[in-house]
Structure 1
Amino acid sequence: MSSQPTPLSLALSQRKSDERATPMSAFRMARRWWLEGRRLNLSLLAEELGVGRATLMRWVGNKDLLMGEILWSQYKNLYDEAIERAEANPKLKGIDFLAQIYTDINIALINGKAMHDFLRAEPQWGLQLLTSNISGLQSRLIETWRKLFEEQIQAGNINPEMDAESLAYFIIRIGEGAIYCDLICGRTPDPEPASTAFRLLVNGHSR
């Protein structure tokens, strides 16, 4: 006579299906690897997830796009935190508000261990991902800043000579040169020149 299954035995029998890998679990694992300083290997990732490489590729597109999602998630977290800090300071208005956000993000990128490890281990690929649009990252950065600039222009807080999209493009390019190139060359980046250039572009003066 067979005994009735217990809740525990049912849970254990369902555990494998409940823990089936998904596109999000692939992203989370890949992001954790990156934060730990591990190289992104899609074959190993697929094996760890218990799926075929073809399935993983269908989920993430390719290695460049997956890494772009990881880098974007990192930047977006820093951006959101910088926005929150700037909005909490009522003294920050207009160019000071924007420059504080830009500088905070650049300092966080400079101090981030994962970014240091990544660019030291894979400088050529890292620079391609960060400074071109092969991963979709750059267009997201430009669009994020374009929206912020447009909000500030429409609110009458800044009156730049360039349009919002051009401003966004150039401030992202300045950040790339001031941070990533120095990191790859083994120099300690200085956020101050980038902040000065930001003010000059957005407001026409450095202070």
Structure 2
Amino acid sequence: MARSWWLEGRRLNLSQLAEELGIGRATLMRWVGNKDLLMGEILWSLYKRIYDEAIARAEQTPGLKGIDFLTQIYEDINIALINARPMYDFLQAEPQWGLQLLTARSSGLQERLIGTWEKMFEEAIAAGDIKPEMDPQSLALYIVRIGESAIYCDLICGRKPEPGPATTAFRLLVNGHQN
């Protein structure tokens, strides 16, 4: 229900949510932990769907493998997040809290994003598809941060979100010294 509210553009009010669910606020807090963690779950559900769709598109593209496969996924995700209207509306309404949820540890989202990319890099390295100059965890952290700077740059520094430079940086970091 909280995800539906958020997708509709409604503010996440835990008291109202508990009332609509027919439970006490204390029960809701036991279920979700706190508002940041609940919002982290909502944001993760959006990201995970976008991530899964990007992988499916890349897998359906004939001949796409290695660095090109990974780069396509990264670029598709960044473009989808830039164009995600619920995300845009949320960040316009609550920019400080939104950026905190997206970029800090309070919501659990960062760990999931980094862990997801770390696993993908580990698999690609094991398969011999990429040979980056850094370990998968560091690589995942940097590409997530670069993506955030491209996706949310309108809030961070007043520039228009642009995925192109982030895609170039991704390719350079992930590809290492390969041609």
* TM-score normalised over the length of structure 2: 0.96
- What is the deviation of 1:90? 2.4
Question: Aligned residue for 2:13?
Answer: 41
| Contact 1:46–1:56, Cα closer than 8 Å, also in 2 | yes
Distance 1:95 1:161 in 2: 14
> What is the aligned partner in structure 1 of residue 105 from structure 2?
133
Gaps of 5+ in 1: 1-28
1:96 and 2:56 are equivalent in the alignment: no
Q: Could you report, residue by residue, the CA deviation over 1:17-47 in whole angstroms, capped at 9, with x for unpaired residues?
A: xxxxxxxxxxxx1000111111100011111
State the alpha-carbon separation in 1 of the partners of residues 155 and 44 from structure 2: 19
Count of residue correspondences: 179
Aligned pair 1:202/2:147, yes or no? no
What does residue 50 of structure 1 align with?
22
Match of 1:145 among 117, 123, 126: 117
Alignment identity in percent? Answer: 78
TM-score scaled by length of structure 1: 0.83
Return 190-199 or 88-97, whichever deviates more: 88-97
Cα offset, 1:167, TM superposition: 0.6
Q: Give the match's secondary structure for 1:38.
A: coil
3-state SS in 1 of match to 2:63: coil
Residue 184 of structure 1: CA displacement?
A: 6.0
Secondary structure at 1:37 match in 2: coil
Q: After the TM superposition, which segments of 4 or more aligned residues of structure 1 sit over 4 Å from their partners?
A: 183-187
Residue 164 of structure 1: aligned partner: 136
Structure 2: which 5+ runs fail to align? none
**SS of corresponding position for 1:162:** coil
Give 1:76's aligned residue: 48
Whether contact under 8 Å (2:101, 2:109) holds in the other structure is yes
- CA distances 1:82-115 after superposition (whole Å, capped 9, x unpaired): 0111011122111100000000000000001000
Query: How far apart are the structure 1 equivalents of 2:23 and 2:130?
Result: 51
Return the offset for 1:204.
3.2
Larger Rg over CA atoms: 1
